[in-house]
Amino acid sequence: MQLDNLYQEVILDHYKRPEHKGLSHLSDVQVHHVNPSCGDELTVNLSLVDGTIVLSWDGVGCSISMASASMMAGLLTGKSLQQAGEVVDAFISLMQSKGTQSGDEEVLEDAVAFAGVSKYPARIKCALLGWMAFKDAAVQVQGKKSLGSES
Amino acid sequence: MSLNAAIIRKDFPIFERLIRGENRLVYLDSGATSQKPNAVIDAEADFYRQSNAAVHRGAHQLAEEATEAYEGARLIVANFLGAREDEIIFTKSATESLNLLAYAMGNSLKGDRFHLGADDRIVVTEMEHHANLLPWQQLSKRTGAKLSWFNVGPDGRLDLSDVDSIIQEDTKVVALTHQSNVLGTINPLDAIVARAHQVGAVVILDACQSVPHMSIDVEALGVDFLAFSGHKSVGPTGVGVLWGRSELLNELPPFLFGGSMVSSASMTDATWAPVPRKFEAGVPNMAQAVGLGAALEYLENIGLENIHAHEIALTGRLIEGLLEIEGVKIFGPTDLKMRGGVVAFTVSDIHPHDVGQYLDSLGIAVRTGHHCAWPLNKKFGINATVRASIYLYNDEADIDALIEGVRGAKKYFGDR
């Protein structure tokens, strides 16, 4: 079935058993994003502990947005902001590829399963919801840290 | 006379195409926009091919023919609504029709009938589409007028238990939908209209979901203004209608200023052309208005009573079929006497987007999301629903395909 390209097994697994879901108390910044076209909502808690990312999230949404946030949290936790930025860029580029890329498994690991989503323009925003919230959070946390180091 | 959807579908070329591979198109999203028959596509194209010129200007033959076609469309709309020709204003959309009213009222000077201030009140309902909520909410913010609303009960109907205390003496505007674009509820208007008129308020009806589907007579409804869109009525995009009572339109100041809408203009002042021209600044969407005329003629040839009866029969079949599926929840009344052919539902805890995507893989087009009615969704504690909306070209096979599709989606997302 054509639909299976979109709903890869690993995506549905993450949807049913999401990782890092539930907001931890640890948070330098909290970012809330909404997809106004469908009402999906997602919150990201981001902290830097000794320069490495600690990420938790919560939200309501479709299988694509929830599974994508789950995989993102797993991928980015433990990385530096710079390393995470590279992963985020790779994922965004995959989503914008209109089905022409299969994704670098070295960088994106299981998240290459979202390659099929890039063929469904209406769903790309779903897949990016968590990632965009993280991007915002990363900018904010950097600002906060640089302010902190000045004072 | 009953309606034969198979024959009607032959008038709509889009049903010849296939969807996601080899699936026939099961189009259940007419509440968002309807498909177009050849009569409409041809009328619009023929205007460009044969009669294109700016209306109400120029002494040449094409200008005359274009004006005749455009004004002919206005007459068709007037007859369709049981209204007078000079009470029909063409806009670009129903959204613009409603904004026209809100902005024109905002332009009213102190002492004018439509002037709003802190001592005045605007009444809406909790089930409004954003297009009939935000213009009034924002007008209330701009003018300081108070904003009140009728609540929606768990049964998906307006709570009309205390009309007098919602529409208070200070109310100047009551704006509500004829049929909810989410719940399908058809609102009873008599008590609201009677009370509004008792306190001197005007009643503005968002008829986007009713005009295309049932016989409407503005006099019988008793409202003062009514808006609907062309593209939901098998007509083109880019054209909407505002109907208003003559004496009210005469008192209402213009919203858009520009060409065609003046009777005189100097460097420092201007006076306005009579209604409807006062509200149609600029060269209008002529081909679209002509297309809308063809659309309404098409609907009238089939008969609005026939269309309504057909849709209600299919709605009954759909509701019955959906309720047999465990985990399906329908939002809005299930009593067919209180509703039209818009059915919003959820399927267990499967996200509506996922249900919609699965249905799409079968060639079934539905709407998923909040349907531009966030406050209503919040009231029901949901973020999104699946919405199927029925029109004249749908048949039993479409309904059965949807019901079967919902069962399939449950299996796909549940049992893997």
- pLDDT score recorded for residue B143: 97
A2-142 maps to CATH 3.40.50.800: no
This model of the complex carries an ipTM of: 0.86
B208 belongs to the catalytic site: no
pLDDT category at B416 given cuts 50, 70, 90 is very low
- pLDDT score recorded for residue A81: 96
| Nearest C-alpha in A relative to B349 | A62
For residues B24 and B117, state if they share a domain: no
- Give B4-49 pLDDT, tens digit per residue: 999 999 999 999 999 999 999 999 999 999 999 999 999 999 999 9
pLDDT at A25 over 90: no
Nearest to A39 among B21, B358, B370 (CB): B370
- pLDDT score recorded for residue B329: 97
Query: Cα dihedral sign for A93, A95, A100, A103?
Result: positive
- Give B108-152 pLDDT, tens digit per residue: 999 999 999 999 999 999 999 999 999 999 999 999 999 999 999
- pLDDT score recorded for residue A151: 44
- Which one, of B6, B2, B79, lies nearest residue B313 by Cα? B2
Instruction: List chain A domain ranges.
Output: 2-142
Nearest to A63 among B354, B377, B383 (CB): B354
How far away is chain A from the Cα of B225, in angstroms, using its nearest Cα? 30
Active site residue: B328, B372, B384, B406, which one? Answer: B372
Structural domains counted in chain B = 2
For residues B51 and B120, state if they share a domain: yes
pLDDT category at A149 given cuts 50, 70, 90 is low
% of chain B beyond a pLDDT of 90: 95
Which residue of B349, B379, B383, B387 is the best one to mutate when testing the A interface, meaning the one whose CB has the most A CBs within 10 A?
A: B383
- pLDDT score recorded for residue B1: 54
| Nearest C-alpha in A relative to B362 | A3
Domain boundary residue among B300, B331, B357? Answer: B300
How far away is chain B from the Cα of A34, in angstroms, using its nearest Cα? 11
- Which one, of B257, B264, B275, lies nearest residue B103 by Cα? B257
One-character DSSP codes across B358-402 = HHHHTTEE-EEE-TT-HHHHHHTT-S-EEEEE--TT--HHHHHHH
- pLDDT score recorded for residue A92: 97
Whether B123 is covered by a domain: the verdict is yes
How far apart, in whole angstroms, are the C-alpha atoms of residue B114 and residue B122?
11
| Block residue for tokens 């701009």 | B142
Say which CATH number the domain at B348 has: 3.90.1150.10
Domain boundary residue among B300, B333, B350? Answer: B300
Chain B residues within 8 angstroms (CB to CB) of chain A: 20-21, 351-354, 357-358, 361, 368-370, 374, 377, 383-384, 412-413, 416
A123 vs B354: CB contact, 8 Å cut-off? no
pLDDT category at A37 given cuts 50, 70, 90 is confident
pLDDT category at B290 given cuts 50, 70, 90 is very high
- Give B149-175 pLDDT, tens digit per residue: 999 999 999 999 999 999 999 999 999
Residue B386 CB neighbours (<10 A): 27
- Give A90-138 pLDDT, tens digit per residue: 999 999 999 899 999 999 999 999 999 999 998 999 999 999 999 999 9
pLDDT at A63 over 80: yes
For chain B, give the number of residues.
416
Between residues B66 and B371, the one the model is more confident about = B66
For residues B292 and B307, state if they share a domain: no
- Chain A residues closer than 8 Å to B368 by CB: 38
Whether B36 is covered by a domain: the verdict is no
Nearest to A6 among B357, B377, B383 (CB): B357
B369 vs A39: CB contact, 8 Å cut-off? yes
- Chain B residues closer than 8 Å to A60 by CB: 383
pLDDT at A150 over 80: no
Domain boundary residue among B264, B280, B300? Answer: B300
Between residues B56 and B341, the one the model is more confident about = B341
Domain of B308 in residue numbering reads as: 5-30+303-414
Mean pLDDT of B406-416: 85
- pLDDT score recorded for residue A148: 65
Whether B35 is covered by a domain: the verdict is no
Alpha helix ranges (H) inside chain A: 9-16, 63-76, 81-95, 105-108, 121-150
pLDDT at B270 over 50: yes
Mean pLDDT of B170-198: 98
Secondary structure of residue A29 in the 3-state scheme? strand
Whether B291 is covered by a domain: the verdict is yes
For residues B94 and B215, state if they share a domain: yes
- Give B51-70 pLDDT, tens digit per residue: 999 998 888 999 999 999 99
pLDDT category at A39 given cuts 50, 70, 90 is confident
- Give A130-146 pLDDT, tens digit per residue: 999 999 999 999 888 77
% of chain B beyond a pLDDT of 70: 99
A123 vs B383: CB contact, 8 Å cut-off? no
- Give B241-262 pLDDT, tens digit per residue: 999 999 999 999 999 999 999 9
Mean pLDDT of B368-384: 90
Whether B56 is covered by a domain: the verdict is yes
- Chain A residues closer than 8 Å to B374 by CB: 39
